[in-house]
Structure 1
Amino acid sequence: MQSEESSKNRLVILISGSGTNLQAIINACASKRINGYICRVISNIGSAYGVTRAKNAGIPTTIHPLLPYKKKEESNPEGIQKARHKYDKDLSDMIIKERPVLVVCVGWIHILSSACLDPLQKIGIKLINLHPALPSTFNGMHAIERAYKAFHEGKIAKTGVMVHWVIEEIDQGEPIVVKEVPMLNDETFDQFKERMHKVEHDVIIDAILIVLQCKNM
């Protein structure tokens, strides 16, 4: 169980998947490496194993799926945009209620719009995102798979992991931490993916420490 009493740095974590990076953050908070605690985990996918990880650590969780919002609107571009706007606005309200100093997106697959970002920015809540690629490469989904394919097509010799500030343009915010990862000829995809995940765990903790240190200076 995490301790809240020893810290003023409240963190909200947004997830969509298995939560291995969430677990790295949980562990870093528990060991006091991060001077903070996770006040809430929000997932847009109810079956995500990261939700179980959060509950096992005694962290409050919220499931916030987009589908119910889409069902309330017309199934056309205007209706979808309206649903996403309402979804993002409600998400910002959830986050603001928790009073975090930092929101950390790890494996979060929903693109955040100004309906979410603007209210948070106005009150000084910062958002960062972990992305398994170097800046301006492999933006969006399946970055690890795309890097592996590009290497075997002779297009790249290295990839990397970064944490960047969240803006509306996907994976294009200013980098906070960047770590290069060399590609290896004799590596299977599963081995490469596991190696990338280990780098992710280090990079996300480093980025959180940098952001919190700057905030407290």
Structure 2
Amino acid sequence: MTDATPIVVLVSGSGTNLQALIDASADPAFGVRIVAVGADRGGIEGLARARRAGIDTFELHLRDFASREDWDAALAERVGSYAPELVVLAGFMKLAGPCFLARFGGRTLNTHPALSPSFPGMHGPRDALDYGVKITGATLFVVDEGVDTGPIVAQTAVPVHDGDTVDTLHERIKSSERGMLVDWVGRLARDGFSIDGRRVVTPRKDPA
């Protein structure tokens, strides 16, 4: 599909969200073409998934650069070489820096395993469980310079069960997160969007 929206996906681990996007993009109606998958480390399943699907891959290791700023600039340059319209951080464990955001701010998406603005940072499911909330979930947002603070695209609610551990809760969150990510990446790619303050505006009404 020549008019499919080109996207780059960045990963750091097993790539289950990436796989969901690969599977969805096999349908021309989804409107997305994954032009490259990048990672900040080697030997991960996320890169293997991309290679099995015939998608270009690249690695940029922070240790290979004199500074984080140099790494961030190199990441922006490498991602830019694929001319994506969207960038999706799918379990990417590095923060986007100023150079990257200067080029891809406003069109980089990430997910967080909590209902933002609650429980930001690395341990959303654990923090939600410790706090004793009855409902948590996942958030899809447009990346900004903060930690899980960007304008919210969508959220999905996940109940907390009495017998939950961090692992069981996180797995249930991730399952809902994948569906939300696939649905909205496709929708944003097909229909476009704009950002008005903290609101992400799409041309069509929210799905029922």
User: In which range does the TM-score fall when normalised by the shorter chain?
Assistant: 0.7 to 0.9
Alignment-derived partner of residue 179 in structure 2: 202
Alignment-derived partner of residue 87 in structure 2: 103
Out of 121, 124, 136, the position equivalent to 2:117 is 136
Q: Is the 8 A contact 2:113 2:170 kept in 1?
A: no
Distance in 2 between the 1:194 and 1:98 partners? 32
Counterpart check, 1:184 vs 2:161: yes
The structure that is strand-richer by fraction is: 2
Distance in 2 between the 1:189 and 1:141 partners? 13
Question: How many residues are aligned here?
Answer: 194
Amino acid across the alignment from 1:41: V
Q: Is the 8 A contact 1:85 1:113 kept in 2?
A: yes
Distance in 1 between the 2:103 and 2:166 partners? 40
> How far off its partner does 1:146 sit?
2.5
Distance in 2 between the 1:65 and 1:34 partners? 32
Deviating beyond 6 angstroms after TM superposition, the runs of 4 or more aligned structure 1 residues are: none
Counterpart check, 1:84 vs 2:80: no
Percent of paired sites with the same residue = 30
Gaps of 5+ in 1: 73-82
Given the two structures, how large is their TM-score scaled by the length of structure 2? 0.86
> How far off its partner does 1:120 sit?
2.8
> How far off its partner does 1:6 sit?
4.2
SS across alignment from 2:146: coil
Are the structure 2 counterparts of residues 93 and 189 from structure 1 closer, same or farther at C-alpha, using a change threshold of 3 Å?
same
SS across alignment from 1:137: coil
Q: Is the 8 A contact 2:87 2:104 kept in 1?
A: no
- Give the aligned CA root-mean-square deviation in angstroms: 1.8
Distance in 1 between the 2:138 and 2:155 partners? 6
The structure that is helix-richer by fraction is: 1
Gaps of 5+ in 2: 194-202, 204-208
Out of 55, 60, 76, the position equivalent to 1:59 is 55
SS across alignment from 1:11: strand
Alignment-derived partner of residue 147 in structure 1: 128
Distance in 1 between the 2:122 and 2:109 partners? 17
Q: Which has the larger radius of gyration?
A: 1
